[in-house]
């Protein structure tokens, strides 16, 4: 992203490359506040902005680095005399140095470089200033070299500055004092401490916020650090001039969790929020009772880390699953109880080795996913997920709606170097094999803790989602020659259709599989010359429509199968050059009378299926709806608006810009855009998929911006 968005009122476009780090500070002089914002990017620039309430934002300085990139920033105020208020800016960079600049608004027009601090042996990843109760400014720096350094800045009152070297066995620590000269004052800066405890790069340092204590503002000397070694540490001195030691260590020991990218205290310091590699926000809460070094893990927020490519609702409507280029499939459900009503990730059924491209439920608690591979994979929910979900959604009868619950495995585990989840029996610790012909897992043993999987109650934590909420893989479907692109399910006739990447007509065939015995049905459906981007069955299962990169669509109708492995579908109509650009999506109306196509040519077209006494007669174009951007996705609600002849279809459309629009349509009233969501509610990048709830006017959108959003439409 080359632009910096400030709240909702201005976009700052002064960088020529992605913005990677920002910081801010508000300087208050005689009751008047001036806001400063600093941004750094991969163009080597550090840009400083300034504004006051009611005035426009202006650039006051630009610091240009050559062959060096800023990685971390911190802006703070030095304890100067009244009228000489001075800001100090620290810039951590790829040259392993910390660059210090000062700025006195009353006298300066630009920031002035005053020091370059050496000490770190690798990139400086994080910086933050704090002012202690005795007016010492302390700069904490965290580096790729696994060390945290504390630099102390104090006023220089005429004392001599000593220079000395303290040499240890392996590390030379320089305690040299540096002088910072201002117009009428001077400060000295000295290395105060070097903290070592992390075993991997330190990505974040964060001071405990100031709090009120005995009616006075107090700065607790607690430093929170986050590292790629899967841990957070809280450091504090043993006394006013004591040795810095870590008082508490949080995180995960072992397991499959990756490291932390950042961590922050809450405003009162009683909570910690940390973000990790898997896209989750971890939360810890400090116990109020003494000692206050005890922290308890609390429920956080999770989500995808890359573009979200697919979404499908469970047929019972209790939850939906999503797929992403982050190689995970995630299940989300609305949790309703006495204390909350919110959406949470309740399972991570699949953690794959390929980018996942789509998902489709076959029946309750069974879905098929596709990825950047030639195989379709079938998953079934384990017993532990079903029983826990029934509790979470407050549906005591859910377990009675599931076939063969007692015979389902307890959970699943993914073997090392494997791609297929193995089932785990609840009777013993020895997993049993479900997939017979899995070359990925040959000779490998799944190791897991069934007791832990059985013990999950309530909303899972990130650590549980990574390790014990997988679903067993029960089948793999072969037949395609290239990576998968699209999939659709026909529950009425127990058939799924799929298509893969294609550059010719042979590769663009659509394959159909029986969902009863998972056999490949015959023959392949022909009609396209390039990749089939989307497939959709009509609600009654009688029709299948496909859309393609070749700008055409094909309509197939089901006739009575002539053989056991015959699926019965035949091409009955083809819309050649239906759009002027690639067609991204297609959907049927709930009464099966129309289907819609969405294209990069910025249009949605409505096509009517013409029948006479159940006999197919043709397809006609009814309406062309134009948009400002390319249309990438859409969905149609199963619930009509109104009743009788005046009823209308409800359609939601997603655009390449991230905008989302709602349409109403009918043969009598026409097809019209009735609402476009405010940008703050829509997405920041293209909308990849939209899917309505099977029974309600609730829909899910997923986007290239990595987010999944749930909307509810009321009339």
- Please spell the DSSP secondary structure of 638-698, one letter per residue: SSPBSSGGG-BEEEEEEETTS-EEEEEEETTTEEEEEEE--TTTS-SS-EEEEEE-SSSSE
Confidence category of residue 494, pLDDT binned at 50, 70, 90: very high
Segment 60-83 shows an average pLDDT of 93
Confidence category of residue 602, pLDDT binned at 50, 70, 90: very high
Measured between alpha carbons, how far apart are the two ends of the chain, in Å? 37
**Best CATH choice for the domain 1-162 from the list 3.30.300.10, 3.40.50.2300, 2.130.10.10, 3.40.190.10:** 2.130.10.10
Neighbours of 685 (CB within 10 A): 16
Confidence category of residue 599, pLDDT binned at 50, 70, 90: very high
Segment 374-392 shows an average pLDDT of 94
Neighbours of 370 (CB within 10 A): 28
Tell me the two tokens of residue 192: 């105060």
Cis ω on the peptide bond leading into residue 523 (within 30° of 0)?
yes
Judged against a pLDDT cut of 70, whether residue 4 lies above it is answered with: no
Confidence category of residue 426, pLDDT binned at 50, 70, 90: low
pLDDT digits (tens, 9 = 90+) for 114-137: 999 999 999 999 999 999 999 999
- CA–CA gap between residue 321 and residue 313 (Å, rounded): 7
Tell me the two tokens of residue 505: 């007509």
Q: Which of 162-171, 382-391, 418-427 has the lowest mean pLDDT?
A: 162-171
| Ranges of each domain in the chain | 1-162, 197-301, 308-475, 514-712
Segment 237-242 shows an average pLDDT of 78
Judged against a pLDDT cut of 60, whether residue 171 lies above it is answered with: no
Rounded to the nearest 10°, the torsion over CA 150, 151, 153, 154 is 70
Q: What is the pLDDT, as a whole number, of residue 258?
A: 74
Tell me the two tokens of residue 69: 């990139």
- CA–CA gap between residue 469 and residue 382 (Å, rounded): 9
Q: What is the pLDDT, as a whole number, of residue 175?
A: 62
Total count of residues recorded for the chain: 715
Domain 514-712 top-level CATH class: mainly beta
pLDDT higher at 150 or 430 = 150
- CA–CA gap between residue 32 and residue 289 (Å, rounded): 40
pLDDT digits (tens, 9 = 90+) for 439-452: 444 444 444 444 45
pLDDT higher at 450 or 256 = 256
Judged against a pLDDT cut of 50, whether residue 173 lies above it is answered with: no
Q: Which of 13-17, 60-64, 399-403, 656-660 has the lowest mean pLDDT?
A: 399-403
Confidence category of residue 423, pLDDT binned at 50, 70, 90: confident
Q: What is the pLDDT, as a whole number, of residue 240?
A: 66
- CA–CA gap between residue 500 and residue 660 (Å, rounded): 28
Judged against a pLDDT cut of 60, whether residue 160 lies above it is answered with: no
Q: What is the pLDDT, as a whole number, of residue 439?
A: 45
- CA–CA gap between residue 304 and residue 279 (Å, rounded): 6
Q: Same CATH fold, 514-712 and 1-162?
A: yes
Percent of the chain with pLDDT over 90: 69
Judged against a pLDDT cut of 70, whether residue 416 lies above it is answered with: yes
pLDDT digits (tens, 9 = 90+) for 509-530: 999 999 999 999 999 999 999 9
Q: What is the pLDDT, as a whole number, of residue 363?
A: 94
C-alpha distances in angstroms, 72 versus 97, 125, 141, 225, 577? Answer: 11, 6, 9, 14, 52
Judged against a pLDDT cut of 90, whether residue 540 lies above it is answered with: yes
If you compute the radius of gyration of the chain from its CA atoms, what whole number of angstroms results? 30
Question: CB–CB of 382/408 below 8 Å?
Answer: yes
Segment 620-647 shows an average pLDDT of 93
Judged against a pLDDT cut of 70, whether residue 694 lies above it is answered with: yes
Cis ω on the peptide bond leading into residue 98 (within 30° of 0)?
no
pLDDT digits (tens, 9 = 90+) for 321-338: 999 999 999 999 999 877
Q: What is the pLDDT, as a whole number, of residue 445?
A: 42
Judged against a pLDDT cut of 50, whether residue 7 lies above it is answered with: no
Q: What is the pLDDT, as a whole number, of residue 433?
A: 38
DSSP state of 525: B
pLDDT higher at 214 or 608 = 608
Task: Report the candidate in 136, 105, 109 with the shortest Cα–Cα distance to residue 29.
Answer: 105
Mean pLDDT across the chain, nearest whole number?
Answer: 89
Q: What are phi and psi of 279, to 5 degrees?
A: 90, 5
Question: CB–CB of 597/586 below 8 Å?
Answer: yes
* Three-class secondary structure of residue 211 per DSSP: strand
Q: What is the pLDDT, as a whole number, of residue 453?
A: 54
- CA–CA gap between residue 510 and residue 327 (Å, rounded): 24
Segment 417-431 shows an average pLDDT of 69
DSSP string of 68-116? --EEEEEEEEE---TT--EEEEEEEETTS-EEEEEE-TTT-SS-EEEEE
How many alpha carbons fall within 13 Å on the CB side of residue 330? 31
Q: What is the pLDDT, as a whole number, of residue 285?
A: 94
Judged against a pLDDT cut of 90, whether residue 77 lies above it is answered with: yes
Neighbours of 501 (CB within 10 A): 19
């Amino acid at each position: 992203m080359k632009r910096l968005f400030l709240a909702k009122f201005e976009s700052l476009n002064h960088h020529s490359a992605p913005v990677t780090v920002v910081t801010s500070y508000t300087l208050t002089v005689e009751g008047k506040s001036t806001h400063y914002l600093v941004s750094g990017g991969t163009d080597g620039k550090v840009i400083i902005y300034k504004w006051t309430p009611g005035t426009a934002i202006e650039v006051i300085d630009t610091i240009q680095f050559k062959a060096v990139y800023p990685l971390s920033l911190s802006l703070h105020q030095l304890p100067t005399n009244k009228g000489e208020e001075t800001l100090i800016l620290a810039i951590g960079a790829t040259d392993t140095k910390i660059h210090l600049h000062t700025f006195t608004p009353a006298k300066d027009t630009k920031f002035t470089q005053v020091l370059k601090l050496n000490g770190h042996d690798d990139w400086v990843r994080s910086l933050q200033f704090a002012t202690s109760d005795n007016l010492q400014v302390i700069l904490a720096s965290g580096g790729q070299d696994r060390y945290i350094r504390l630099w102390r800045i104090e006023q220089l009152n005429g004392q001599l500055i000593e220079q000395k070297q303290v040499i240890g066995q392996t590390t030379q620590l320089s305690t040299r004092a540096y002088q910072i000269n201002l117009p009428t004052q001077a400060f000295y800066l000295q290395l105060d401490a070097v903290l070592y405890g992390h075993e991997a790069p330190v990505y974040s340092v964060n001071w405990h916020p100031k709090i009120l204590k005995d009616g006075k503002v107090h700065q607790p000397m607690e430093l929170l650090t986050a590292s790629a070694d899967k841990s957070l540490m809280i450091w504090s001195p043993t006394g006013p001039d004591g040795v810095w030691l870590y008082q508490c260590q949080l995180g995960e020991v072992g397991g499959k969790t990756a490291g932390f990218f950042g961590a922050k205290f809450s405003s009162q310091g009683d909570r910690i929020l940390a973000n990790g590699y898997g896209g989750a926000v971890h939360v810890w809460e400090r116990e109020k009772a003494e000692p206050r070094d005890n922290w308890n893990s609390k429920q956080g927020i999770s989500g995808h880390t890359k573009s979200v490519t697919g979404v499908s609702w469970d047929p019972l409507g209790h939850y939906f699953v999503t797929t992403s280029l982050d190689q995970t499939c995630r299940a989300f459900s609305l949790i309703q109880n006495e204390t909350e009503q919110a959406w949470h990730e309740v399972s991570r059924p699949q953690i794959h080795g390929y980018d996942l491209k789509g998902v489709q439920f076959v029946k309750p608690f069974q879905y098929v996913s596709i990825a950047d591979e030639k195989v379709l994979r079938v998953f079934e929910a384990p017993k532990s997920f079903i029983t826990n979900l029934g509790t979470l959604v407050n549906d005591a009868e859910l377990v009675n709606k599931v076939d063969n619950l007692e015979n389902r495995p307890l959970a699943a585990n993914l073997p090392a170097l494997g791609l297929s989840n193995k089932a785990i029996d609840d009777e013993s610790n020895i997993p049993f094999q479900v997939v017979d012909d899995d070359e990925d897992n040959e000779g490998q043993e799944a190791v897991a803790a069934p007791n832990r999987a059985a013990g999950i109650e309530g909303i899972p934590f990130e650590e549980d989602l990574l390790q014990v909420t997988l679903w067993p893989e029960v089948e793999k479907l072969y037949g395609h020659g290239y990576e998968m692109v699209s999939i659709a399910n026909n529950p009425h006739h127990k058939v799924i259709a799929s298509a893969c990447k294609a550059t010719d007509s042979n590769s663009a065939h659509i394959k159909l599989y029986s969902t009863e015995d998972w056999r490949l049905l015959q023959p392949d459906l022909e009609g396209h010359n390039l990749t089939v981007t989307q497939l959709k069955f009509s609600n009654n299962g009688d029709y299948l429509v496909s859309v393609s990169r070749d700008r055409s669509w094909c309509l197939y109708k089901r006739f009575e199968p002539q053989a056991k492995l015959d699926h019965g579908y035949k091409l009955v109509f083809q819309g050649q050059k239906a759009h002027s650009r690639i067609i991204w999506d297609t959907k049927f109306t709930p009464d099966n009378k129309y289907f819609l196509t969405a294209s990069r040519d910025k249009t949605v077209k409505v096509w009517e299926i013409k029948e006479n006494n159940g006999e197919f007669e043709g397809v006609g174009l009814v309406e062309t709806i134009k948009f400002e951007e390319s249309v990438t996705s859409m969905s149609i609600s199963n619930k009509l608006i109104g009743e009788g002849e005046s009823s209308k279809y409800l359609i939601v459309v997603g655009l390449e810009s991230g905008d989302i629009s709602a349409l109403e349509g009918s043969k009598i009233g026409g097809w019209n855009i009735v609402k476009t969501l405010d940008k703050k509610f829509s997405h920041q990048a293209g909308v990849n998929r939209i899917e309505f709830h099977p029974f309600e006017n609730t829909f899910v959108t997923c986007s290239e911006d990595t987010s999944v959003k749930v909307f509810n439409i009321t009339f």
